[in-house]
Amino acid sequence: MQAKRHSKEKRKEVRATALWQRVVVDTMEMGMTSRGGSEYAIVFVEEFSRMVMVVPVARKSDSHKALQRVMLEWALPAGTVIFSDNGTEFRGKFEELCAKHSLRHECSPAYCPQLNGIVERENKEVANMIRACLIHAFGVKDNVVCQHSLWAECCRYVEVIRNHSKHSILNDKTPLGVARGLDNDAVHDMMRRKIPAAFGEGCMATTQEQIRKRHGRGFQKFVARAVKARFLGWNEKNSSYRLLVERGNRIM
């Protein structure tokens, strides 16, 4: 007499068939506190276009703040599914925010990580790109990436690169192109205007006039008008660049 073998049915990933139909979210622990006090990165992926957004946060419980940024920049329509795992960071204020703006929050069943596979793969890509950018810009010492506390500054840069790069799933179209209906040439032109230099690339930052006067009494004509710096990204609030000044190792 043979016992029957009951094979567990494999759950398959559900794929979105339209734009803004489904956004997958996950939390990635970075293992290092950034200069701004962030310890985690909340990663959002719009399934249809594969648009990515990476938001550094200080605590897991700040996931609702990350969702607010996504809602503001992506203008999520009512009825969009926000799909996450069963982490406690996606309860409480996160669920309240979803309900307030008519977003449907759904969770994956326990022990079924494959249902969250899209964002899990994106986590690896984002982490690899952040590490590569920091190594290229600052190097490695004693097998540890130098200036690793700048990982949060690198998140926005990596996000833009991912959204402006071709994706095999999209038949070599870019996520931004699919989301906005643009061809690849238009998307690449946008990226060149948005990113004037590679992350950590050397540049010169002009100093303010009052600083030049304070340090150049009597010979202001010969006071340096700029200091050596490295490009980190840009400030969305006032459209200025964020730079790491080499002297003093400070961000401006």
Q: DSSP secondary-structure letter at 232?
A: E
Of 150, 250, 157, nearest to 207 by C-alpha is 250
Q: How do beta strands 104-107 and 81-84 pair?
A: parallel
Token pair belonging to 51: 């648009």
User: CATH no. for residue 34?
Assistant: 3.30.420.10
Q: Letter for the amino acid at 221?
A: K
What is the dihedral sign for C-alpha 63, 66, 72, 78? negative
Q: Reduced to 3 states, what is the DSSP secondary structure of residue 130? A: helix
For residues 125 and 223, membership in a common domain is answered with no
pLDDT at 219 over 80: no
**C-alpha torsion angle, residues 129, 242, 184, 55 (rounded to 10):** 60
* Average pLDDT score, the chain: 86
Instruction: Say how many domains are in the chain.
Output: 2
Ranking 189-193, 219-223, 247-251 by mean pLDDT, the lowest is 219-223
Please indicate, yes or no, if residue 12 is contained in any of the structural domains.
no
- The 10s digit of each residue's pLDDT in 17-32 is 899 999 999 999 999 8
The neighbouring-strand residues paired with 242 are: 233
pLDDT value at residue 6: 41
Note whether residue 109 is domain-resident. yes
Least confident residue range of 11-20, 111-120, 192-201, 234-243:
11-20
In a domain, 214, yes or no: yes
More confident residue, 146 or 66: 66
Q: Residue 218: pLDDT above 60?
A: no
Q: What does the chain come to in residues? A: 252
220 & 147 share domain:
no
Q: Could you tell me if 148 and 50 lie in one domain?
A: yes
User: What is the domain extent for residue 217?
Assistant: 202-251
Question: Do both 67 and 139 map to the same domain?
Answer: yes
